[in-house]
């Protein structure tokens, strides 16, 4: 096992009816900016619950943060905070709104052009505005991690940043919020969380026995409940387990002491930036092909995953690893994910070259565990995904 440090200051408040606790979680006398997305919160009652809990607080509202939040939109919120001297951000939404809040938090007091935060993939350590979240869609883990992904619309770049000052002070996770989610978003949440675990698990054996079993238990739970929760989001047992899986998949715990990959995400972000494909769907398109192209480096873990998550038996490591990839593809298909890029955009033909060129411009010559995802591999993976 590798050495590690574990730091996670987010207070997670989980369960039905917990949005009412906002009144105790938001600092008294705070001048709050409440940020939200395209308006789903007005239709499903979440807005009303938040407003009721914040009665008596000074709250300025800023809506319209789009899915895959735009730098350009977030900078408008930064202006509001500066002009009105607000000092606490409340994100009410999913990964996009929470990631947006993180960027706003970092940008308000940033000396210089806030685009640098993204272009230099900065680690924000201080000078951030504190923020909390009310989660409305389980998927990203953003409610309990310090990462954020923001799109610069003008240049079609989707870029990540983070840092120890980017943890929410608190996040409220009420599983009941998923009832109003469209099936497509429920499917996305399951597959995003599943792939988060895979990015931190499917590398090579490093004798991290507990971390492996943490990861496998999240994967097994998602396999068990994923197909059901998209059909019955009102089932609290399914909803609560789904939501907790998503948080646990990317709150930092399972990545401690182990190598991580993240190349599926890096390639997937480009597909969203270029063609607007939902985040989770890009992962489903890329991940199995990445496992195929990097088979020899990943086959030991693939076989372990095959045995423990999919109950594949036998002694032939290669055969079990290959079957594990097939099982993964079948699960993604069952969850409504697309199997290839050409089903999502007519413009796919030159995608591999575009992505390789972008990665080379950014100096990303060695992604993945041990830097094994080199530009030639990126090309192969993307072309295999057409
Ligand atoms: O904008 P509104 O109207 O609220 O609608 C949203 C949005 O259209 C809707 N929605 C959310 N909660 C709802 C609801 N509709 C009905 N009922 C509810 N309760 O769902 C749509 C998608 O929302 P979004 O926030 O975009 O989804 P998600 O949570 O999947 O976030 C995706 C973003 O997070 C980034 C992705 O790249 C993408 O930009 N990620 C962030 C990560 C992180 N911070 O750690 C890691 C991830 O790998 C990911 O990259
Ligand atoms: Zn993701």
Task: Give per-residue pLDDT as tens, 97-144.
Answer: 999 999 999 999 999 999 999 999 999 999 999 999 999 999 999 999
pTM of the model: 0.98
ipTM attached to this prediction: 0.99
| Phi/psi-derived region of residue 112, left when phi > 0, alpha when psi is between -120 and 50, beta in every other case | left
- Ligand 1 neighbour 142 (Cβ under 6 A): yes
For position 251, what pLDDT does the model report?
A: 98
For residue 148, the ligand 1 atom closest to its alpha carbon is: 44
pLDDT tens string 2-47: 999 999 999 999 999 999 999 999 999 999 999 999 999 999 999 9
Confidence of residue 299 (pLDDT cuts 50, 70, 90): very high
Ligand showing the shortest atom-to-Cα distance for residue 160: 1
Q: Is the CB of 221 under 6 A from ligand 1?
A: no
Which residues, by Cβ under 5 Å, contact ligand 2, an ion?
192
Provide CATH 1.20.1090.10 ranges for the chain: 183-384
- CATH for 183-384 (2.30.180.10, 3.30.830.10, 1.20.1090.10, 3.40.50.12170): 1.20.1090.10
Chain region(s) in the chain for CATH 3.40.50.1970: 11-176
The CATH number given to 11-176 is: 3.40.50.1970
The pLDDT value recorded for residue 81 is: 98
CB of 282 closer than 8 Å to CB of 271: yes
Pocket flag, ligand 1, residue 282 (CB < 6 Å): no
**Which residue CA neighbors atom 42 of ligand 1 most closely?**
140
Q: Is residue 30 in contact with ligand 1, taking CB distance under 6 Å?
A: no
Instruction: Report which bound ligand comes closest to the CA of 192.
Output: 2
Which class for 361: exposed (0-12), middle (13-18), buried (19 or more C-beta within 10 A)?
A: exposed
Q: Is 162 in the pocket of ligand 1 (CB under 6 A)?
A: no
How far is ligand 2, taken at its centre, from the CA of residue 268, in Å? 9
Q: 166 in ligand 1 pocket by Cβ < 6 Å?
A: no
The chain-wide mean pLDDT, for the chain, equals 98
List alpha helices for the chain, DSSP H.
22-25, 40-43, 46-53, 71-84, 95-107, 115-119, 183-201, 209-229, 236-249, 263-275, 279-293, 295-310, 317-334, 351-361, 375-384
Ligand 1 atom at shortest distance from the alpha carbon of 36: 4
Is 40 a pocket residue for ligand 1 (Cβ < 6 Å)? yes
- Residues 357 and 283: beta-carbon distance below 8 Å: no
Identify which of 95, 124, 260 to mutate to test ligand 1's pocket (most ligand atoms within 8 A of the CB): 95
Please write the tens of the pLDDT for every residue from 213-222: 999 999 999 9
| Interval 337-373: pLDDT, tens | 999 999 999 999 999 999 999 999 999 999 999 999 9
Smallest Cα–Cα separation from 94: which of 142, 147, 162?
Answer: 142
**Smallest CA separation from ligand 1 atom 31, residue:** 95
CB distance 304 to ligand 1 below 6 Å: no
Pocket mutation for ligand 1, best pick of 137, 146, 147, 248 (most atoms within 8 Å of C-beta): 137
Closest CA to 68 of 135, 164, 160, 182: 160
């Amino acid at each position: 096992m590798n050495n590690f440090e574990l730091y996670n200051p987010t207070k997670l408040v989980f369960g039905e009816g917990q949005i009412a606790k906002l009144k105790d979680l938001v600092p008294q006398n705070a001048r709050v900016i409440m940020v939200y997305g395209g308006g789903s919160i007005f239709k499903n009652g979440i807005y009303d619950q938040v407003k009721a809990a914040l009665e008596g607080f000074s709250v300025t509202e800023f809506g319209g943060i789009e899915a895959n939040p735009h730098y350009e939109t977030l900078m408008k919120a930064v202006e509001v905070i500066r002009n009105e001297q607000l000092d606490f951000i409340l994100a009410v939404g999913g990964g996009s709104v929470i990631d947006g809040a993180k960027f706003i938090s970092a940008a308000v007091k940033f000396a210089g052009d806030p685009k640098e935060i993204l272009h230099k993939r900065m680690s924000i350590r201080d000078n951030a505005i504190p923020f909390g979240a009310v989660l409305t869609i389980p998927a990203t883990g953003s409610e309990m991690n310090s990462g954020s992904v923001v799109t610069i619309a003008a240049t079609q770049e989707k870029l990540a940043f983070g840092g120890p000052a980017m943890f929410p002070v608190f996040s409220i996770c009420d599983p009941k919020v998923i009832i109003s989610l469209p099936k497509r978003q429920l499917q996305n949440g399951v597959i995003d969380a599943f792939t988060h675990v895979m990015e931190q698990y499917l590398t090579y054996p490093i004798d991290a026995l507990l971390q492996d079993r943490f990861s496998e238990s999240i994967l097994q739970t998602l396999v068990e409940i994923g197909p059901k929760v998209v059909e019955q989001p009102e089932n609290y047992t399914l909803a609560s387990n789904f939501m907790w899986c998503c948080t646990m998949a990317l709150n930092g715990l399972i990545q401690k002491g182990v190598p991580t990959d993240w190349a599926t995400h890096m390639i997937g972000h480009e597909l969203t930036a270029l063609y607007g494909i939902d985040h989770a769907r890009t992962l489903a398109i890329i991940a199995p092909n990445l496992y195929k192209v990097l088979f020899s480096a990943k086959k030991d873990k693939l076989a372990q995953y095959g045995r423990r998550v999919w109950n594949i038996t036998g002694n032939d490591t290669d055969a079990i690893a290959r079957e594990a990839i097939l099982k993964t593809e079948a699960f993604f298909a069952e969850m409504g994910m697309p199997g290839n890029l050409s089903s999502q955009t007519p413009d796919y033909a030159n995608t591999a070259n575009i992505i390789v060129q972008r990665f080379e411009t950014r100096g990303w010559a060695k992604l993945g565990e041990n830097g094994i995802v080199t530009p030639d591999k990126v090309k192969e993976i993307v072309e295999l995904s057409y």
